[in-house]
Amino acid sequence: MTKYNINLLVSEADEKLKAVGIDAGKAEAEIILCDLLDVERLELYLNGPSLLDDNIVKSYYEIIEKRLTRYPLQYILGSAWFYGRKFLVDENVMVPCPETELLLESVLRTARLSKSSPVRLLDIGTGSGVVSASSKLENPELDVTASDISTEALKVAQSNARQFGVEENIKWIQSDLFDNIDPNSRFDIIASNPPYIADDTYDTLPPEVKADPTLSLLGGNKGMEIIERLLKQAPDFLNRPGTLIFEIGYDQAEIIFDLVDNNSSYSKCMLLKDLANIDRIVICKTA
Ligand SMILES: C[S@@+](CC[C@H](N)C(=O)[O-])C[C@H]1O[C@@H](n2cnc3c(N)ncnc32)[C@H](O)[C@@H]1O
C-alpha cells in the first residue's frame, strides 16, 4: 500500500495555487504529476500511486513552490503541448497558446485547397516552431520555411523539429520579417503569429505572460507595428493566388480591415473567432 495519495497531492496544490490567483490549479497539479511520472492524465489516478516515490514527491513540491511565484509552468517543465505534441520551450520563446492551433488549422485547410504542388509555406516569427513543425508533420507534402528575428528562438524551433524528425525538411532563416528572405521567393501561404500587444499595455499583463520574451509580445503603438509591415510586404512574397494568415489581438480586427481595404494587393479578407468568440485569425487573399 503506497503512502501517497494522488487526490490529496492534487487538492493540496490546487488550494495553494488558487490562493495566488492560479485558477487552473487542479489541472496544473495533474500536469506536473503526469510529467514527473511520464503517464497520460487518464492513467494518473489508476497507475500513479504505485509509481510515486519520495524523490518524485519532493520534485512535485519543488515545482509547486516555483509555480507559486507565477513563473509559467511550461518554462518550469521545459515543455508545452501544442496540437497533441509536446514541444520544448525555454525563455527564448513564447509559450505557445491554444488560440494558435486555429492559425495552424487555417494553414492546413488553405494548403489542402491550394492547387500548387508543392504548396509553399513561410512561417514568420516561428518561435518554438509550433506552426512550422506541426504543419510539416500534419502535411509532409508541404514545402516549409521558418523564420524568426531571434537566433535563440530558431535554435529552439530546430530542436523541436529535430525531436519530431523534420528538422532537415524545413528551411530555417534568421530574418527581420522579410529582410533575409530571397526577394525572388514566392510562397502560397505566409503564416504568422506576430507580436501584437500594445507597448503601453505591458504593465497590465499577467506575470505568466510577462515571462515571455518581450520580442514575442510587443508590437509597438497599438500593437500594430509588425502587423502593418507584414500586411505591406507580404504581397511581394506571395503567389497569385496566395494567402496571408495571421493571429491578432482582441481589438485589432477593425483597424486591420481598414488597412486591407486600402491595399489593392488583397482581394478579400476574412476573420475567424477563437473559442472565446474573440476575433483571432485574419485570412487575406492576394488579388
Ligand atoms: C508571438 S511569438 C509567436 C511564436 C510562435 N510562432 C507561436 O505561435 O507560438 C512572435 C515571434 O515573432 C518573432 N519576431 C518578433 N519580431 C520579429 C520580426 N521583426 N521579424 C521576425 N520575427 C519576429 C519573435 O522572436 C517571436 O518568436
Note the pLDDT of residue 3.
79
- Kindly state the average pLDDT of the residues 257-278: 96
Asked if residue 258 has its Cβ within 6 Å of ligand 1, the reply is no
Mean pLDDT of the chain: 97
For ligand 1, the distance from its centroid to the CA atom of residue 148, given in whole angstroms, is: 6
Is the model's pLDDT at 1 over the cut of 70?
no
pLDDT (tens digit per residue) in 81-121: 999 999 999 999 999 999 999 999 999 999 999 999 999 99
Note the pLDDT of residue 2.
65
For ligand 1, pick from 83, 130, 193, 237 the residue to mutate: most ligand atoms within 8 Å of CB: 193
What is the Cα–Cα distance from 175 to 194, expressed in whole angstroms?
A: 13
Asked if residue 249 has its Cβ within 6 Å of ligand 1, the reply is no
Asked if residue 153 has its Cβ within 6 Å of ligand 1, the reply is yes
Output the pTM of the full model: 0.96
For ligand 1, the distance from its centroid to the CA atom of residue 138, given in whole angstroms, is: 22
Asked if residue 149 has its Cβ within 6 Å of ligand 1, the reply is yes
- Kindly state the average pLDDT of the residues 226-232: 98
CATH number of 100-286: 3.40.50.150
Q: Which residue ranges make up each domain of the chain?
A: 6-69, 100-286
| 19: exposed, middle or buried (Cβ count in 10 Å: 0-12, 13-18, 19+) | exposed
Note the pLDDT of residue 84.
96
Using alpha carbons, select from 203, 208, 196, 206 the residue that is nearest to residue 76.
208
Asked if residue 195 has its Cβ within 6 Å of ligand 1, the reply is yes
What is the Cα–Cα distance from 187 to 230, expressed in whole angstroms?
A: 14
Is the model's pLDDT at 263 over the cut of 70?
yes
* Nine-digit cell string for 184: 525572388
Using alpha carbons, select from 2, 84, 71 the residue that is nearest to residue 37.
2
Note the pLDDT of residue 287.
85
Cα 148–129–226 angle (5° rounding)?
35
Per-residue confidence at 286, pLDDT binned at 50, 70, 90? very high
For ligand 1, the distance from its centroid to the CA atom of residue 177, given in whole angstroms, is: 9
What are the φ/ψ torsions at residue 271 (nearest 5 degrees)? -125, 140
Closest-CA residue, ligand 1 atom 9, reads: 96
pLDDT (tens digit per residue) in 107-165: 999 999 999 999 999 999 999 999 999 999 999 999 999 999 999 999 999 999 999 99
Report the nearest atom of ligand 1 relative to the CA of 96. 9
For ligand 1, the distance from its centroid to the CA atom of residue 3, given in whole angstroms, is: 46
Measured CA distances, 198 to 19, 61, 137 (Å)? 29, 36, 33
- Kindly state the average pLDDT of the residues 42-51: 91
Kindly compute the dihedral angle of the four CA atoms of residues 229, 230, 236, 242, in this order, to the nearest 10 degrees: -160
What is the Cα–Cα distance from 59 to 23, expressed in whole angstroms?
A: 22
Note the pLDDT of residue 4.
87
pLDDT (tens digit per residue) in 163-206: 999 999 999 999 999 999 999 999 999 999 999 999 999 999 99
Using alpha carbons, select from 248, 278, 274, 275 the residue that is nearest to residue 260.
248
